[in-house]
Structure 1
Amino acid sequence: MENEHTQKLSRREFLKLIGAAASGLLMAAATANPSFASSGEELPPEEHWAMLYDATKCSGCRECEVACKSYNKLSEEDVDDLSGNTFTLIKLYQSEDGSQKSFRKFQCMHCVEPACAASCPVSALHKIENGPVIYDSYKCIGCRYCMQACAFGAPRYDWSLAYPLIRKCEMCYHRENGPACAEICPKQALMFGKRGDLIEIAKARIAVNAGKYFEDRVYGEFEGGGTSILILSAVPFEAIGLPALDPKPLPDRTRWALNIVPAIFFGVGGAMAAVYRSSKKSDKEAEEKKA
């Protein structure tokens, strides 16, 4: 009898703990500030850290991949997509008839108004004052809304860890010489600097190379409200995996997700409370039958 009573108490305590956890999540969702966090005065977009990737200069050497893994202490893996252990990846595009070829560097685009940060109910992803979008694992609750919100598929879940985390490029924001990938690029296909300056450099290249670059435009200047990874390409942007986006900021497209978060947590709390009440009723009925 003592053992049976202990098991009932254990189950009750378990349900209480779940209910408390759901309530805690609800409070986090209600009090979190979805706006961009900053440790200082936020700089205007033209002053943000940025990188210009000129696909016409890229040789596909993948030195950027090696530098990224080395600096971020990421394990080696043979993958064809971004992952929890691959923050930057070079892919080769080739048209069906073989007439067009181009390399493309995949990574977080560090949007001027990041949808991942806007969709995070606890601000685990946030944009710091000089531009990079970074991640705070201590705040993360594992909802993965950021993965759904990102138009570029940058945030990835690292299932190899005992406690899975979101992983992605953070533009080496704590590195003195800027991003490791940009510093090592032997062809200067990658350039690091202020966003406004890099846009001017990109436009200057377009001006002196008539017909070389697709539509004579810089991808990321306006797309999705603007990005801090700017791209020049000789082939259509969509062909190398870049989504066609109008200038509307990306958070405006995903704000609905953040709006339903409190409702979800209320639902979880209500469901757990119902389970607890049902369990309590069953225990009482069982005790009455024994009596």
Structure 2
Amino acid sequence: MGKANHSVTSDFILVGLFSHSGPHLLLYSLVTTMFTMGLLGNTILICLIRTDSRLYTPMYFLLSQLSLLDIGFLLVTIPKMAANFMQGKESISFGGCAAQMFFLMLMGVSEGVLLSLMSYDRYIAVCHPLHYPVLMRHQVCLLMVGTSWMSGVLVATVQTSITLHFPFCASRTVDHFFCELPALLKLSCENTSTYELTLSISGVLILLLPMSLIATSYSHVLAAVLRMRSAEARQKAFTTCSSHITVVGLFYGAAVFMYMVPGTYHSPQQDNVVSLFYSLVTPTLNPLIYSLRNREVRVALVKVLERAGFRSKR
């Protein structure tokens, strides 16, 4: 019992990605640059969606929520890792570790659900365009967003509470650069095999259900696109859907590797790389994918830049 109580008041040690050698300093600079780009890109995208009336559509409303989740991913992981590197320390408090684990799970589950609902939005837009204003009215969009966020809160609350219930009386060194649930479970001095099995099963369900909705939506979209006679209509449908498919591939590719492939088939080093991918690379790329491939976003950005240039000259 004393050991369990001690585990609640002691810090954890995070194994960072960087040392102070030349190559690692270069990698650290690259990570901080991508972090800054990710924050700016997602913030700019949210501002464009909120200020340009032509982007007041269900698709862009859902996209603004995706950018908000991506900002959360960036803020939960990278600043602590960078601060530890700059200060030359590796510790994180028990509360800080719990907060990291909770918010990462919240963001991850919410984003997975949101991406699946965004595929439904594309299905309605392509397959039932005349009913789109009714089926995707603002109340429905709010319900979609609420469902994604509440799913994340529910899963994160349950799984974080259960994980922190275990006593951490073994080595307190987390073989990761942030507190992620699988890495933290390895530190427990109790047998967690039953919980890990339950966690794997729930992880499969959490991933497979949204992926099934995405696959179903896009199978109908593909069939509808192939039936279109107009090449221009096919191109427009492809453009509006391809950005979302790209984002889905990036996010779910990393998630499947982390939570559906058994831990014995990947090393902690591989986990670090994949975690860096979905906590940094994907949130940084998402606004670029949507802004470069969507004409409406490009036009809105040009308008804002032109207005800013005009005002500065005045």
Judge same fold: TM > 0.5, yes or no: no
TM-score, normalised to structure 1, is 0.24
Normalised TM-score (structure 2): 0.22
Task: Give the greater-gyration-radius structure (CA).
Answer: 1
Structure with more helix by fraction: 2
The structure where strand makes up a greater share of residues is 1
